[in-house]
Structure 1
Amino acid sequence: MLIKNFKNKLAVDTSSTVKEIDLLTRFHVVNFDLLIVPSHSDDSGIYICGSKTGEFFYAYELDIQSTTDARLIFGDKEENPLPEYNTNEFLAYTSFREWSPCDRCGVRGEQRKFGLCYVSSQYINPRYQIKGDDVSCGSDAVPKRFKPLIANRTAEIFIRSCKVPCYSNETLGGKVSNVVNDLATYLQGKFSFLPRRKLPTQNHIYALGDRVTLTCPGSKPEHAVAWDKDNERLYRSEYLIGTRKYMNRFIDHGNNLNIKFIEFTDKGLFTCWLNGKPVASFKLDVTKQPPRRRDLRDAETLFATRIIGFGFIFFIVLFVLIHIIKCWCYHCRCCPPKLDPQSEV
């Protein structure tokens, strides 16, 4: 895949298909660096940087492994990562990053780390062996005969519990502050009437059935973010997207809190933690949508009228067909004749 810049347009040449994508949507060039926000798995490919005069300097192969079908691993449930897939020709394994910081302090929190699929083999294309014999599973350097063997090996997300103090000061005063803050956090979780530390709070009013997405201020997908609703901890082991089939309230892989259809039970104060500290609160209120008169030109009215009309025509046609068949049966004597009770005497 060859990418060139033509006056704020991005021409992507893939064999015989050429399509133009506006750079202002997701592709940005900042200080000669190419930024893709947000990135999709379809953005995987080879990116070549060069000059307007046609000189090419370097090529980058980008392999974006999707998190939508990632395998979730919970350490509290004694689950383990996928084992290595080792053959005589190649080795497929999961390379994990470092653990994120604990997303809460003073109470039980969670840590996570991402793992991506890699392949090590002597048959890797030498053009891609800049940093050794290991390449990602989606790389074009992996021979085609290896692709079916690792097709079901996806990215992995490892989550485990953690608990850290709210302050890391090692002095005597710092240790006393740790005990006091931990005790205050514990009591606040047990008794809701105790005063809490004031946080910047945003008030939001939604209509019943709206979709809601809350983003923690200043957070990025790679940060450690946690969510609470009033006194309830929304742990990823229960609320991470993909843990259950149907989830009305869930946390996505970008650390956003999502509510598909907001209900009256979703009223309350939602608090987000960033790298172990509470930073902001969101007060949600839910109201009913005000009633409004339907117009004959509304899409819903036209749809309902069309359905009712088709249903009426269908039953009329069915009624006529039944009578035609009944009359045809009677005149052709195909139906058994009714016996007169007096003729039997």
Structure 2
Amino acid sequence: MLTTLWLLLCFALPVQESPFSISCPNHKHCQLALLSNNDIILHCNAPGAQWQFFRSLKSTWGSSSTTNLNMETMLNGSLLIKNPLPYHTGIYNCNDKDGKKVMRYEIDFQDVLTLRITHKDLDQKTLQNESLSLSSKELVFTHWEPWQDCNRCGVPGERKRLGYCYIQKSLENPIPCWLYLGDKKLWSSRLRPEMQVETCHIPCTLTDVEYVIFDNFQLRNKAGSARLTCPLGSIYRPVFWEANDLSLTWKDQLSGKSISTIMDTSNGGSWLQVFQPAIYRCFVHQELMAQFNSKATRKEKANSVLEGLNMMILVGMVLAVLGCLLKQFRFSQSRRINKMLLVK
């Protein structure tokens, strides 16, 4: 269970996203497209493995080091790539401790900043196929991944699928755009990845778990906002947010109806920018991962204390006035009784 895993980690680690693991079942060679700025792990079951990275340099593949700050070889031999950029598009070879090649990944990290997002329920259209003229006619199209699971169960939710830019030349196999183009200086609005969203509604099959009170937050900056991160969230996983039990949807955000929150498009909504205090919850694979409670800032606390003091002063003044009136009333009654006695 994802929740069990996170409960073991949440008190020891800061809130962060979880890398998405990539593997090639029954194959030693993979060619695939991914999105930049989203952490991944390239699987290689070879303890003591050494990785080689080759990028396109003037129509050839030049070797580069994998020892830079955003790449780390793990104990099991896999390679962790943090915040990959389009610049990291290339070939990744995993060699065992004897230098024998174990795995080969050809990866196109497509620029997530150019990601086109559409929603089927809003009748928004995906990109159409186009011809790209280089040395001959090439067809540019979107290769769609399967739909991810619905991000919520028991209530209406949404599901998404990712689409990557591919180029096909005549009858040859299609290739991810920037693996095909290499370092060619070519710009086209068609050379971009996509994400499509649609509404879904499925029954729940998982057992309910208690809410995880994970963190508190304050609206800190000048804009009065805060950024929340859903633990284990990723653009490659179904993520769902709610605020005060109300669903936050891509449909509302893309149609302009959502004004108090913004789901970050670069990571599939794993980050949520909030502008109003509320109780926010996030789910991954339909499991509750975290709850974020808004807490008062020092200014708000000071205002609250000041309001309390003002209320106490006001109550004191009212009581003092009532006391004076009561005293005056008793004094008037006493004088009236004395006058009656004198008359008698």
Task: Give the TM-score band, short-chain normalised.
Answer: 0.5 to 0.7
Q: In structure 2, how many angstroms separate the alpha carbons of the residues matched to 1:9 and 1:97?
A: 27
Read off the aligned partner of 1:234 and give its amino acid letter.
L
Higher relative contact order (CA 8 A, sep 6+): 2
User: What secondary structure sits across from 1:237 in the alignment?
Assistant: helix
Q: What is the match of residue 160 of structure 2?
A: 112
Q: Is 1:268–1:285's contact at 8 Å kept on the other side of the alignment? A: no
Alignment match, 1:226 = 240
- For the residues of structure 1 that align with 2:79 and 2:194, how far apart are their CA atoms? 27
Opposite residue 152 of structure 1, the aligned amino acid is: R
Q: 2:212 — aligned with what?
A: 200
Query: What corresponds to 1:153 in structure 2?
Result: 191
Q: Separation in 2 of the partners of 1:92 and 1:161?
A: 28
**Aligned residue among 127, 131, 137 for 2:177:** 137
> Which of 258, 273, 276 is the matching residue for 2:286?
276
Kindly provide the CA deviation profile for residues 198-220 of structure 1, in whole angstroms up to 9, marking residues without a partner as x: 41113414253276332223333
- Aligned pairs for 1:321-332 within 5 A: none
- Evaluate the alpha carbon distance shift between residue 150 and residue 35 of structure 1 in structure 2; reply closer, same or farther with a 3 A threshold: same
Mapped contact 2:129–2:139 kept (Cα < 8 A): yes
C-alpha separation in 2, matches of 1:143 and 1:14: 6
- Is contact 1:94–1:155 with CA below 8 Å preserved after alignment? yes
Give the AA of the match of 1:217.
P
Count of residues paired in the alignment: 240
1:287 aligns to 2:280 (yes or no): no
Structure-2 separation of matches of 1:98 and 1:26: 29
- Structure 1: stretches of 5+ with no match in the other structure: 1-7, 124-131, 170-180, 182-196, 291-345
Deviations 1:201-250 (A, max 9, x none): 1341425327633222333331111101103221112337xx77x97731
* Equivalent residue, structure 2, for 1:216: 230
Once residues 205 and 161 of structure 2 are traced to their aligned partners in structure 1, the CA distance between those partners, rounded to angstroms, is: 23
CA distance 1:237–1:68, change in 2 (3 Å): farther
User: Matches of 2:181 and 2:217 in 1, distance apart?
Assistant: 52
User: How far apart, in 2, do the equivalents of 1:150 and 1:207 lie?
Assistant: 40
Q: Residues of 2 paired with 1:54 and 1:199: CA distance?
A: 49
2:179 counterpart letter in structure 1 = S
1:222 match: secondary structure: coil
Deviations 1:98-123 (A, max 9, x none): 11111111221101000001111149
Which position in structure 1 is the counterpart of 2:88? 43
Q: Is the 8 A contact 1:272 1:279 kept in 2?
A: yes
Aligned with 1:82 (options 111, 121, 127): 127
Alignment partner of 2:71 out of 27, 44, 54: 27
- Compared with structure 1, are the counterparts of its residues 230 and 42 closer, same or farther at alpha carbon in structure 2 (3 Å cutoff)? same
SS of 1:63 mapped into structure 2: strand
1:163 has 2:201 as partner? yes
Q: 1:61 to 1:12 in 2, by over 3 A?
A: closer
How many angstroms apart in 2 are the aligned matches of 1:57 and 1:280?
38
Residue 157 of structure 1 deviates from its aligned partner by 0.4
CA contact (8 A) 2:52 2:93 kept: no
Cα deviation code 1:46-98 (max 9, x no counterpart): 33455799887876432101222111111011122212225782222101111
Q: Name the counterpart of 2:327.
A: none
Q: Specify the alignment match of 1:99 in structure 2.
A: 147
Structure 2 residue 244 is matched with structure 1 residue 239 = no
Instruction: Calculate the TM-score normalised by the size of structure 1.
Output: 0.57
Taking only aligned residues, the RMSD between alpha carbons, in angstroms, comes to 4.2
Distance of aligned partners of 1:121 and 1:149 in 2 relative to their CA distance in 1, 3 Å threshold: farther
Cα distance 1:284–1:56, how it changes in 2: closer, same or farther (>3 A)?
same
Give the letter aligned to residue 150 of structure 2.
C
